């Protein structure tokens, strides 16, 4: 199985900060990597699919990059409504696996 190592587990940042979250795959997953935002008690919301494509309706401050084994989610200017937990998911081959999550808080 492909393991997804997500870092950091916790992140505290200020409004306006540039925030980056990383996921590393244990083997090549090409660009088959999605990023999600999950607010407390809600279902995950798709932000980025196939590593760098922004889902319709998602603010432009969210972007994704990477291919192969190393991927990054970037929030260019953190907003208060971005406080949430963020997950990555690989869908290169089954079993698909998720990162453990990054909890993002305001400083």
Partner 1 sequence: QVQLKETGPGLVQPTQTLSITCTVSGFSLTSHYIQWVRQSPGKGLEWMGFIRSGGSTEYNSEFKSRLSISRDTSKNQVFLKMNSLKTEDTGVYYCVRTSFDYWGQGVMVTVSS
Which residues contact partner 1 by CB under 8 A? Answer: 34, 42-46, 49, 55, 87, 89, 91, 94-98, 100-101
Measured distance CA(49)–CA(73) in Å, rounded:
11
Q: How far is the CB of 61 from partner 1 (least distance, A)?
A: 20
Nearer to partner 1, 76 or 92 (CB): 92
Contact 11, 103 (CB under 8 A): yes
Q: How far is the CB of 107 from partner 1 (least distance, A)?
A: 25
Q: How far is the CB of 8 from partner 1 (least distance, A)?
A: 15
Nearer to partner 1, 58 or 76 (CB): 58
What do you get for the CA distance between the two ends of the chain, in Å? Answer: 36
DSSP-derived secondary structure for 18-63: -EEEEEEESS--TT-EEEEEE-TTS--EEEEETTTEEPTT--TTEE
Nearer to partner 1, 17 or 46 (CB): 46
Nearer to partner 1, 44 or 66 (CB): 44
- Tokens 């949430």: give the residue: 84
């Amino acid at each position: 199985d492909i393991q997804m190592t997500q870092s950091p587990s916790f992140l505290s940042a200020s409004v306006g900060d540039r925030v980056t979250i990383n996921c590393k795959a244990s083997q090549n997953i090409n660009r088959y990597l999605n990023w999600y935002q999950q607010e407390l008690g809600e279902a995950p919301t798709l932000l980025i699919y196939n590593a760098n494509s922004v889902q319709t309706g998602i603010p432009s401050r969210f972007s994704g990059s990477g291919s192969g084994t190393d991927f990054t989610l970037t929030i260019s200017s953190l907003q208060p409504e971005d406080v949430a937990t963020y997950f990555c998911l690989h869908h290169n081959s089954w079993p698909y696996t998720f990162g453990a999550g990054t909890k993002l808080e305001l400083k």
